[in-house]
Amino acid sequence: MYCHQLLRDYTTYSPAYTIVPTYECFNRCTYCNFRTNPGASPWMTLSAAEEIFRRLQKQKVCEILILSGEVHPHSPQRQAWFQRIYDLCNLALNWGFLPHTNVGPLSFAEMQQLKSVNVSMGLMLEQLTPKLLATVHRHAPSKLPELRLQQLTWAGELQIPFTTGLLLGIGETLDDCWETLEAISHLHQRYHHIQEVILQPHSPGNQQTFDAPAFNPHQLPEIITQARQILPADITIQIPPNLVKNEQWLLACIEAGARDLGGIGPIDEVNPDYPHLQEQELREILQPAGWQLVPRLPIYPQFDSWLSEELQAAVKRWRKFIFT
């Protein structure tokens, strides 16, 4: 039953499926377990996506997360890359799903166009400290902190419901985390457009060159508690349950104030070495501790009026039929 407003002790998740227009990316973040070199991986075709959407019709999936590697803004391929993303979103909508796009920094005009085929969008702020530009982001021009802050500002100006977040354990200090959270809070107070902040612990994978241990999950509850103090109350804190492997620590994160587990689907494309627990397994962990697991849409109800009439109608159908 989709009525989490009525439950006191609940945590939400989004029944989601991730499609990847391309794994190619012109950045080389050293902790990446996703990218291929530009030109090295084929782009997802519309017919391949259609086949996936047809199959998903029989499953209880609502959100299509469009997650892509990045083509350089000045590349001759950029327009075609953007068009493919737009077309995939449109196709997902036509099949009755609700798209949420997270494909790296976009121009203002690109964001504006994608708003018409997405119910929400996202971009991780990761960390604002410029010192990472000399380390993990040394070869990642689109990880410039100002560029990413600009995206959050444009999302606010365009009234796009937005998800952002921090990557933890990539060389930042706790003070760096608080500074990044303060910046999110500041922008939200201006535009009231941030739905969720993800706190994502660095979790080493097979492909990365960054030689550092996993972020200590025991530190997460403390960071969540502090984040809850910094962030406005209407921003939900999200944690990826596949990266907090110990059940007790997962519960501790929820007790500390995390209230969302993000998109749960077959594969975590960003952390492919860490399979998702599925809905029933999560329920079995949460319920004995008194927590209800409740599905949600990729747009929170307070933002529905920001959407076009067509998108509002699609959202309304999901709110009415699927989770009742």
Positions at the binding site: 25, 29, 32
* 28 near ligand SF4, judged by CB under 6 A: yes
Is residue 208 within 8 Å of 170, Cβ to Cβ?
A: no
Is residue 192 at the binding interface for ligand SF4, with CB under 6 A as the rule?
A: no
* 70 vs 172 by CB, closer to ligand SF4: 70
CB of residue 167 to ligand SF4, shortest distance in Å:
9
The answer to whether the beta carbons of residues 227 and 181 sit under 8 Å apart is: yes
Q: Is 32 in the site for ligand SF4 (CB under 6 A)?
A: yes
Window of 29-37, 216-224, 228-236, 245-253 that interacts with ligand SF4 by CB under 6 A: 29-37
Supply 5's token pair: 């407003």
Q: DSSP for 41-82, please give it.
A: SPPPPHHHHHHHHHHHTTTT--EEEEE-----TTSTTHHHHH
Phi-psi region for residue 200, left (φ > 0), alpha (ψ -120 to 50) or beta? beta
Q: Does 277 bind ligand SF4 (CB under 6 A)?
A: no
Per CB under 6 A, 27 contacts ligand SF4: yes
Residues annotated in a binding site for [4Fe-4S] cluster: 25, 29, 32
CA 313 to chain centre: 23
Out of 10, 13, 34, 86, the residue judged to bind ligand SF4 by CB under 6 A = 34
Closer residue to ligand SF4 in complex, CB, 91/132:
132
Give the SS3 label for residue 195.
Answer: strand
Q: Which stretch binds ligand SF4 (CB under 6 A): 32-40, 157-165, 187-195, 293-301?
A: 32-40
d(CA 287, CA 119): 30
Rounded to whole angstroms, how far apart are CA atoms 293 and 282? 8
**What's the min distance (Å) between Cβ of 214 and ligand SF4?**
16
Nearer Cβ to ligand SF4 (166/254): 166
Within 8 A by CB and 6+ apart from 286, the residues are: 11, 251, 254, 292, 293
Q: Which two tokens stand for residue 120?
A: 């929400």
Residue 260 near residue 196 (C-beta atoms within 8 A): yes
Count of positions on this chain that bind ligand SF4 (CB under 6 A): 11
What are the tokens at 168?
A: 């933890």
x/- track of binding to ligand SF4 for residues 50-89 (CB under 6 A): -------------------xx-------------------
Single residue of 16, 19, 29, 183 touching ligand SF4 by CB under 6 A: 29
Residues that bind ligand SF4 (CB under 6 A): 25, 27-29, 32, 34-35, 69-70, 104, 140
